Each structure stands twice: as C-alpha cells, then as structure tokens.
Structure 1
Amino acid sequence: MLAFTVTTNSPPLVSTGARFKVSAEKFPSFLPKQVDNIKDSFARKLASKIERLPVHVGFTENCIMSSVVKPSIQSNTSPVVLLHGFDSSCLEWRYTYPLLEEAGLETWAVDILGWGFSDLERLPPCNVASKREHFYQLWKSHIKRPMILVGPSLGAAVAIDFAVNHPEAVQNLVLIDASVYAEGTGNLANLPRIVAYAGVYLLKSIPLRFYVNVLAFNGISLSTSIDWTNVGRLHCLFPWWEDATVNFMISGGYNVSDQIDQVKQKTLIIWGEDDKIISNKLAVRLHCELPDAIIHQIPDCGHLPHVERPSSVAKLILEFIGENCKVEAQSLSQH
C-alpha cells in the first residue's frame, strides 16, 4: 500500500540553513575522492548506494558499466525511474529518492550516458541516439517493466525522446521544469573543438556552478550553496567528462519540440513558480501541447523542485501514480 503524509506547501526536506553532521558513509571506490568533502548527509547517503551495472549497446563493442541507484524494495506498481538534468547526476535526487522509497515505490535513479558516474574510460559516442539506446538497453536488461519515467529540466527532453521512440517501456511521464523548447545546443554545435573545450572547462568551474545554484534555488545559504556546488560538479572530476560533454555539444543535443504532441502516455507536469531559468509560462504551453497531461505548480520554488521542495514533488508523484492505479482498476473491473 502506498502511503505518504506531507502537504504540498511543506518546506524543503532539509532546511537551507541546516548544518549537517558528516556521516562516515562507505562510498563506492569508483567515485571521485572529493566525495569525502561533501557535507550534505543526504547526498552522502545516496552516493554510498550508487553502483555500476553492465549495459551492452550496439554502438560500441565495450560493455558500459553504468551508474544507477537500484531500488531496495519491489512493489506491485510500475517502477519509478528518475533521470537528471543537463550535465548532472543521480545525486540530484538525494532528498526526493528516500521519500519515494519510504512511500513504498520501487525507485531507480539512473545516470544519463555521458554524465553521472558511469565508466566512460573507453569513450562511447554521447549523442542523443547513443543516450537513447544506452538507456533502452539498461531498461531492457535491468528494469524490464513499463516505468513511470521522471525527467527534470533537460531530463524532460530525454524522457520525451525516449517515450516517443520506446512507448512500450514507459507507462507514464513526469516532467519537472521541463527544458523541451530549446533547439538543441544551437550554435555551440558549430564551435571549433578547441573553443568547445574551453567552454566546457568553464562549465566545470566552481564560480559558474555556484552562480547556477544562485539562479536555480530560492534563498539558500552561502554554506549550502557551496556544498551543493560540490555535489553538482562531482561527476565533472572524471578524466573523460570533458570529452563526453564536448561530444554531446557538437552532436547538436536534444530538439524535441516536434515530438511533444506524439507523447501517448499520460503526463504529470510539475513546475516551480519562481523558476528563473525556464519561465513557468512554458509550463502552460507544454500542458496545452501534450495530448494527455495535468499540471501542478509549486509556489516559492525555483528550477529544481525535487531538490528545493522534495516533499511536494514526492507527494505529487505519489498522488499521480495512485490516481492512475484507480483508473486502471476501474477499467479492469468493467471488462
């Protein structure tokens, strides 16, 4: 039975001014050693659960050891699979993941090919088609059941692209502050490689990452912003990160605006009302263009509600799943 008791306007799971006692987690040996410097106890806990699973793909002879957080429980409902945003990792879900599991949901957090903590020492192509096939083979080999696919920011574009190309794998979609109207990487795709690498080097820099945190979140403290910056750039410390990111950049990136009306799955749209990165006006546009969607906006919340308002996001996902289960049960009873 699914059960969850929070209110939609509840504060973040972690007070933005909280001081964390650093716990002595045992981290996987493949994580960058700088993981030890992270103070956020939720990030440390989730990082300790990351593992690598073998994924065989058609675009390289090498098996890709792919980073995920596997569910600790199995349920009768469809598994919930959490993607992340652009150039990020499964650690985005450090606050919401435990809430979903506590509610009885079978929950995966998956790193998109080219980002996160997968082993890419033998660098595969990291374009859209490769990311899609990698995720499909991971689903086919390890998840194996139609899923509720959750995509925040650029992860929403990944989710839409995947759902349209592999509808058999996706039961429902949840799109959070969705970045789905950008025309790929735009002019960045035409940059000379040396310029692209310079841009990627800047992307990894602490000042830029810190500035993005300021834009993404509402009123977090300086100490929290610094720690979240360290969480957000941890995957950038792998030696292959620059190559993988440049590969994606020059490939053209995601352009899914023409796919939106092809989405067959019922979709939940979640949006932070105070998003300074993607206007919530686009939430209304997306709601209008998706064939079967509902929308919920979260007040006093920025671009990443699953980090800033995890209780609200978990509650909305749980209610969405519960309502769909009721509809399915009613449909079965009529036959």
Structure 2
Amino acid sequence: MPPLLTLSSSPAPPPPAPRRARFRVAASADVGATAPAAGNDFPSFLPRAVERIRDGAALRLAKRIERVPVQTGFSKSPIPSSCVRPLKQQQSADPVVLLHGFDSSCLEWRYTYPLLEDAGLETWAVDILGWGFSNLETRPPCDIVSKREHLYQFWRSYIKRPMVLVGPSLGAAVAIDFAVNYPEAVSKLIFIGASVYAEGTKDMTRMPKFVPYAGVFVLKSLPLRLFATRLAFYKIPDGFFDWVQIGRLHCLLPWWEDATVNFMITGGYNVINQIKQVKQKCLVLWGEDDGIISNKQAYRLQQELPSAILRQVGQCGHIPHVEKPREAAKHVLDFLGGDGVDKADQASSLSSTLVST
C-alpha cells in the first residue's frame, strides 16, 4: 500500500459488539446515533461542510472543539490550536491526552472520548500541528521538530503535569518521539494500531513542488478516502459515506495542503531507534483483523518496549477506538485503574459507565 494510504485513519462508527462482551454505556447510550445537523452552534472556524454531517457523536464532539493560543519558538505569534478540553480538570489522577492518526483530527475520538470522560478521567483530545482544525494561516513549519515543540508548549501551557499520552496509528510515532524527548511530561503511553516501524517519507526537499502537491491532491480525493476507510475497518456499518466526510473535514481548511506537503517533504516520522528508549509503562492495543498494519507488529512492539502489556480486540480493524469504542475504553480503564486514582472513585466510575449485559 502507498505510505500515505497506510497511515490514514479515517473514522467510522462501531458495529454491535458480540453478545457475550457487549457493554451498555449508561451516559453515552447514543454513541453512533444519527442526528440532524445543527446550523449555528458549531465553532465558526469549522468548515461549513460540518453542517452536512449526520453522525450524532461527531456533531456533539465538533461543538466542543476550541482553539487555544500556543506560543512556540518557530512562530512569531501564538498558534490558535484546536483541541477538546475536559469538562473539569482534577489533580487526583494523571490527565489522558488523545492524539490522532495521520492526516486526521480529534473527531477520530468521537465515540471513545465520552466513555473515558464519563468514567471520570480528565480527558483531552489534541490536534497534531498540521492536521485537525488549528489556524495555520501564517503557514508555520509542520515538520517533526515543530510538531514536537508545539505539543510540548501545549502541554506546558494547559496540562502542566505528567500525562497519559495515547497515540493511534501514526500518532503512536508522535507519542514515542515526544516521550523520548520530554520524558518528564509523560507518565504512561498507550499505543493503538501503532505505525512505528515505517521509515518515513524520505527527504523530498529537492523535489519539484508540484510532485508532493499532486500527491496531496490525491490524498484529499474522495475515491482514496473511501478506499482507505474501507480498508481500515473489519466491518463497515451503514452511514459509510458520512464517516468518510468526517475523516476529511479538516482537509477543507485553506492551509491543509501546505501543512501536509511540508510534513511530507521533510521526511516524516522514523522512530524505530527510539522505541527501546521509552521508559514509561505502556499499553499496546491492536485490532486482531487490522488490514493496514499487521498485528504481528504488536508482538514486536511489546517485546521491544521495556515495560509493555499487549491487548487485542477481536473482529476489529486498524482503529479500535472508532470501531469498538467500548472495548477500547475498557482496556484503557483497566490499564489505568488504581494508578494515582482513588480506588473507590475508580470503582464507582467504572460501574456507572460500563455495565455488562
């Protein structure tokens, strides 16, 4: 598969879980439900195409996206950076910070975010510099070093204490690069369908500009997005086209092409040599039927990380937090349970959020 396609992580809603493992989500029972698009209560910076989306979970999370200023050393003015903030911050447990995959956005977390929040976790969803819904009108650099510094300055300004960093697909490479360079900012790591063994896109700075721009034009195209989305999931339920539209919504912003080309021509991520430098406790989560990155790499990653446990999700493709959000949330909560959280509060949160049927 082409590198751009294999790193894609367009979202899709969850199919029904097997009966013996099904969970009822008390506070989020309408995960994946459709709803009419509201007209005027979305953030003004979102593309107008958001009003055509029918997915209820996506609409609710979209309404919570905001931009916060992040000052970096590579931009004269603060970058208005998109994220979803927790409803309340707490000091009893480490915050959970959700990244996303290649050329995606925080909307990738539309099904799992409310489950984690309902369980009592302080949950953030952050758009990686160059993707998502940040304002990049000034065209700041979006190479690896800039992405790393931007995330660090976001953490330093708003989170301010060690976090559980969650990276799906290429977001796992972002998380490894960040954790190795800023270990004081990361308490634990969670990798989902981790794309960490690719060797980047190689340096294309001397290539004629029209070549990467042509590639980006294809990346944005509806046929490729349809194909990539179909490939990413074990089972595609109804509403497939709507989910493709959710996955490409951020591509409609005017600076998306420039930001993506800048990332591509500067080489992309190659964190193979950084994996063994990770010191934090890690959860490796993988779909057993991942059609993009073989789950054989899950075993390799578990072995190479000094402190990692592996969990797999049955009948699930590349993005468990989208396709099987209840199972993904349960694995996250099990991994974090008891560490820095009051056990009584944790038990109460779990019992009120995940109820076996």
TM-score by length of 2: 0.85
TM-superposed CA distance for 1:74, in Å, is 2.4
After superposition, the Cα gap between the structure-2 partners of 1:234 and 1:124, relative to the gap in structure 1 and judged at 3 Å, is: same
- 1:168-247 to 2 correspondence within 5 Å? 168-186=184-202, 191-221=207-237, 223-247=238-262
Query: Which residue identity lines up with residue 24 of structure 1 in the other structure?
Result: A
SS state of the match for residue 324, structure 1?
coil
Task: Compute the RMSD of aligned alpha carbons.
Answer: 2.3
Contact 2:89 2:122 in 1 (8 A): yes
Look up the match of 1:265: 280
Q: Is the 8 A contact 1:90 1:111 kept in 2?
A: yes
- In the aligned structure 2, how far is the partner of 1:257 from the partner of 1:159? 13
1:301 aligned residue (313, 316, 326):
316
Change (3 A) 1:33 1:12: farther
Matched, 1:52 2:67: yes
Once the two structures are superposed, the pairs formed by residues 7-26 of structure 1 within 5 Å of their partners are 9-10=21-22, 20-24=34-38, 26=41
Q: Distance in 1 between the 2:162 and 2:59 partners?
A: 30
What is the count of residue pairs matched by the alignment? 320
Deviation at 1:326, TM superposition (A): 7.8
Q: Distance in 2 between matches of 1:172 and 1:231?
A: 29
Structure 2, unaligned stretches of length 5 or more? 1-17, 344-357
- Alignment correspondent of 1:69: 84
CA distance in 1, matches of 2:21, 2:79: 41
Q: Is the 8 A contact 1:11 1:309 kept in 2?
A: no
Instruction: Measure the CA separation in 2 of the matches of 1:216 and 1:61.
Output: 39
Please tell me whether the aligned partners of residues 56 and 64 of structure 1 are also in contact (alpha carbons under 8 angstroms): yes
- Report the CA distance shift for 1:142/1:297 in structure 2 as closer, same or farther (over 3 A): same
SS at match of 1:295: strand
CA distance in 2, matches of 1:137, 1:39: 35
Moved more, 272-281 or 314-323: 314-323
TM-score, structure 1 as length reference: 0.91
Cα deviation, 1:79-118, whole Å, max 9, x if unaligned, reads 0000000000000000000000000000000000000000
Distance 1:101 1:7, change over 3 A: farther
Asked if the contact 1:12/1:309 (under 8 Å) is kept, the reply is no
Q: Give the distance between the partners of 1:303 and 1:156, measured in 2 at CA.
A: 13
Partner secondary structure for residue 129 of structure 2: coil
Distance in 1 between residues matched to 2:338 and 2:208, nearest whole Å: 50
Counterpart Cα distance in 1 of 2:65 and 2:274 = 32
* Higher helix residue share: 1
Pairing 1:161–2:177 present: yes
Distance 1:317 1:219 in 2: 22
SS of aligned partner of 2:136: coil
Aligned to 1:34, the other structure's residue is in SS state helix
**What's 1:92 paired with?**
108
Change (3 A) 1:106 1:326: closer
Structure 1 residues 220 and 190, CA gap change in structure 2 (3 angstroms): farther
Q: CA deviation at 1:225?
A: 1.6
3-state DSSP of counterpart to 1:120: coil
Is contact 1:8-1:312 (8 Å) kept?
no
Task: Work out the CA distance in 2 between the residues paired with 1:23 and 1:38.
Answer: 6
1:81 matched residue in structure 2: 97
- Partner residue of 1:290 out of 288, 305, 330: 305
Deviation at 1:325, TM superposition (A): 3.7
Structure 2 residue 327 is the aligned partner of structure 1 residue 312:
yes
Match of 2:157 in 1: 141
Change (3 A) 1:323 1:284: farther
Q: What are the ranges of 5 or more consecutive residues in structure 1 without an aligned counterpart? A: 1-5, 329-335
